[in-house]
A and B are shown apart, each in its own frame.
Chain A
Amino acid sequence: QVQLQESGPGLVKPSETLSLTCKVSDVSLHTNSFYWGWIRQPPGKRLEWVVSMYYSGSTYYNPALKSRVTMSVDTAKFQFSLTLTSVTAEDTGVYFCVRGERGQQVISVFEHWGQGSLVLVSS
């Protein structure tokens, strides 16, 4: 059973960079059968897709966040990471790491989710 676990600081100052890591268990990242990524949920608001990436390096972004987002995969450490630069209070929320399986669409649904990591942007 695939398990994903987010980690990272719970508090980030405005204008600084948010960094999160997702540790993956019981599955290899060394495959293009799956895509990995991040989805966030501001308090009381709808889910928002942030970014998805394949092992090959193909990366797909939410256009609204693309200029500030970087995602990377470290197969040796069984983890992938998210960085979001120049954060504001609008970036506060729970960040979920996710996995989906490649199908007819390059990115479609997300079958596996981490439990989520709460990030507060505040001075």
Chain B
Amino acid sequence: EIVMTQSPDTLSVSPGERATLSCRASQSLGSNLAWYQQKPGQAPRLLMYAASIRATGLPARFSGSGSGTQFTLTIDSLQSEDFAVYYCQYYSDWPPEVTFGGGTKVEIK
């Protein structure tokens, strides 16, 4: 079973600054990694897939990188609407399995 670990648990950032979120896997994932944003009381929103491909309509200030066991989501020039919880998600080639990380909360500093 692949275990996904996100760090830090909470990230305090001032508006306009950069946020860097990490996701580590217990085994190599290749590039089968997605990122989601979840705001209180809302469903998650897909941000990124295949580690670095932005979902339709996602602003360019969001970028993803990494492969294997270490992945990063970077948010440049944080906007007020970016303060939320972010989850990484692994998806396997075969058999189909999906695993989420524990989340990183990005809060206003």
- Where the two chains meet, the residues of A that have a C-beta atom closer than 8 Å to any C-beta of B are 46-49, 52, 60, 62-63, 96, 105-111, 113-116
Contact = CB atoms under 8 A, between A and B. Distances in A.
A111 B98 CA distance: 14
B75 to A, nearest CB: 19
Chain B interface secondary structure, helix, strand, loop or mixed? loop
Interface in B84-109: 87, 89, 91-103
Contact of B34 (A46, A52, A108, A116): A108
A110 B101 CA distance: 15
A47 B101 CA distance: 8
Given A49-B100, A52-B96, A60-B96, A108 B46 contact: no
B49 interface: yes
B46 A111 contact: yes
Contacts, number: 56
Chain A interface secondary structure, helix, strand, loop or mixed? loop
B16 interface: no
B2 interface: no
A115 B40 CA distance: 11
B32 interface: yes
B67 to A, nearest CB: 15
B87 to A, nearest CB: 6
Contacts of B103: 46
Contacts of B36: 47
Contacts of B60: none
A47 B100 contact: yes
Contacts of B89: 47, 109
A108 B95 CA distance: 11
Contact of A47 (B42, B55, B87, B95): B87
B98 to A, nearest CB: 4
Contacts of B46: 109-111
